[in-house]
Amino acid sequence: MQVHLAKTDITTMAVDAVVNPANSLGIMGGGVAAALSRRGGPTIQREAMSMAPIAVGAAVVTNAGRLPAKRVIHAPTMEQPGTKVGVENVRRATRAALLAAAHHGLEMIALPGMGTGLGGVDPSDAARAIVDELRAHRQPQPSTVYLVDLDDEILFCLEEALKVATA
């Protein structure tokens, strides 16, 4: 698996799928979810909500509306919108997103700093959990993962976690 860091808006990524750090209800009201919904249109949230509840540790794949990405992987980090979560939820959501990509044959995905926004997880802890799950994933898909965010601290933490993982 190739892993790339990118300081960019996830809603602009022309990939097979973008990952939405969702809530179990499929409501796309804040953070990355709201940005994806604004740019992609209401069809994404409608489809996600039709599949709810989505357990933390599970993921569903929906259409991407008007996004440049082909699909959206909804991987809940929290049950209710706006809930503070622990790093284990980041780990479980990341694993679920990777498994969903593999199951659907999605080669290239964009993954944000899961749990670091509304979830309140420390960016360094979240980055280590995300990178640990990337390293543990043994399926051929996704073959390329873009770790994306607009926040410099989150990107720095992801970069540091990748350095430690490859040292």
Chunked mean pLDDT (size 10), the chain, 167 residues: 97 98 95 96 97 97 98 96 94 98 98 94 98 97 98 97 88
Q: What is the pLDDT of residue 167?
A: 73
pTM score of the predicted model: 0.97
Q: What is the pLDDT of residue 52?
A: 97
Q: What is the pLDDT of residue 109?
A: 98
Residue 167: beta bridge partners?
none
Q: What is the pLDDT of residue 127?
A: 98
Phi, psi of 109 (to 5 degrees): -130, 160
Residue 146: beta bridge partners?
4, 110
Specify the CATH number of the domain 2-166.
Answer: 3.40.220.10
Buried b (16+ CB within 10 A) or exposed e, 56-85: bbbbbbbbbbebebbbbbbbbbbeebeeeb
